Amino acid sequence: MELKDFGYHYFDEFMKNNDISVLPDSYLGHMMLTNAENGVCAGNYSNLLNLSVAVEALIDRDMHISWLIDNLKALSTSPYTNMHEQINLNSKVAAELIAGGLLAESFNELKPLPEAKGDKTPDFKLFDSGYAEVYCPQTSQQNITAVNEQKKIKRVNLLFSPSHTH
């Protein structure tokens, strides 16, 4: 089973050109398998579509290709079903990758920021003074609370709250 089987030829070609193989028990492999069974789209099909759109947006703009490759490798090789923590990490990686691709559609100056151990950092820098934080509500109570609180505050400039990614 390959991404091109779902109509994602550009995504599939990028994966092959960068020697990224999708393991069946990985996050991406699990998503592909659940959508290929019995020819019926599973609930996470939109996540597969969103990943494809994000990948294409970043490739088309030649933005952060090494970051994209690293994240796709994580989603293609890290086990999906073994550990709850790994499922949450994969969901976070997928949410950030999708957000990065969607933000790349609007912001010419987008830079993924590395995670700081023990420190809160935003996920992306936008231009010189703007930042974006991607919340993945299903990964922690802290993110669930943060999203719910930000929805209550009228001062929030912009809030992306994608559907669940696991």
CA distances from 88 to 34, 56, 130, 139, 141 (A): 18, 24, 27, 5, 12
Which residues, in sequence order, are CB contacts of 94 under 8 Å at separation 6+?
Answer: 27, 47, 51, 75, 165
pLDDT < 70: residue spans in the chain: 37-44, 81-88, 136-166
Residue 72: per-residue pLDDT: 95
DSSP-based three-state secondary structure for 106: coil
Residue 163: per-residue pLDDT: 46
Rounded Cα gap, residues 48 and 44, in angstroms: 7
Domain ranges of the chain: 3-152
Considering the entire predicted model, what is its pTM? 0.77
Question: To which residue do tokens 């993945």 refer?
Answer: 136
DSSP bridge partners of 37: none
Residue 101: per-residue pLDDT: 92
Share of the chain above pLDDT 70, in %: 72
Angle at 69 between CA 142 and CA 104, to 5 degrees: 65
